[in-house]
Structure 1
């Protein structure tokens, strides 16, 4: 596990999970939100930028940009994808606690399971990546406790 995608709905805990996984494994973490949103990339330019990001030998890429994404680029380069998939209610609660989200974020969060998640699953299914789906805080804790020990 040296090239890891962390995916999931808004409020799923991707950034927190990625930071903790990075601390356990020593892998560098890139938060895609901090790379994508300040610039407002076009889909073509974002695909090029993602190719640059995945060129490194080891990384954790944290982010699922929904309709703005070019996931195929990252999935082709990754060896592991961790899909955080807690309940929509848990995601909404976490997002409410953050309190800084725009309307398009809420639209994405509320439609993620039936509109975006099937596409994420499709991309992962056709790539050569090991997929780990974590649906609860307990599953996340167990996974992280084993990280860095060969899983």
Structure 2
């Protein structure tokens, strides 16, 4: 099973990925953990593309994260695409809450040495995610989504409902 999870920061991608991975026993890859090196140093483009190309060759995976530059690599190989399309107010609230909750700490889905941070540019990016990033994601889904299961979460309960289905199913309900 190859599942890619995308959406705005603060939408619940990582939490959903962790819970889904626990239920399905499919390995989880939080892209932030692999992209960011200690001190918030980005992985060089060529190295990142090679990493992504090799990662999607794995038999099973849940990949959590956006990284638009490598969307094509993941979408070509994904069997299931989960898109968190939640309201900007909720996502923005959650990234602010997360910043407070993890002040001076590194989240479990981040690489060591990348303490939680937040700046105005990031808040604006989260707030404008639907307007600025969603059209490109929808275009990629239209381009690569044929024959794949596409799941779009538009409210918080959508993710919870899918996890409940997975939990009570003998096999995954996808």
Q: Which residue of 2 aligns with 1:49?
A: 51
- Out of 131, 137, 161, which is 1:120 matched to? 137
Q: Deviations over 1:28-49 (max 9, x none)?
A: 1000001001151233332221
TM-score by length of 2: 0.79
4+ aligned runs moved over 4 Å, structure 1: none
Number of corresponding residues: 148
Q: Which residue of 2 aligns with 1:12?
A: 11
| Mapping 1:6-85, distance limit 5 Å | 6-38=5-37, 39-66=41-68, 69-85=69-85
8 Å Cα contact 1:43/1:70 also seen in 2 = no
- 5+ long unaligned stretches in structure 1: none
> In the aligned structure 2, how far is the partner of 1:48 from the partner of 1:130?
26
Q: Which is higher, the Rg of structure 1 or of structure 2? A: 2
Q: Deviations over 1:47-75 (max 9, x none)?
A: 22101111100000000134xx3100000
> In the aligned structure 1, how far is the partner of 2:122 from the partner of 2:44?
18
TM-score by length of 1: 0.90
- Structure 1 residues 72-81 or 123-132, which shifts more? 123-132
Give the drift of 1:104. 4.1
SS in 2 for 1:70: helix
Q: CA RMSD in A?
A: 1.5
Q: Which protein is richer in helix relative to its size?
A: 1
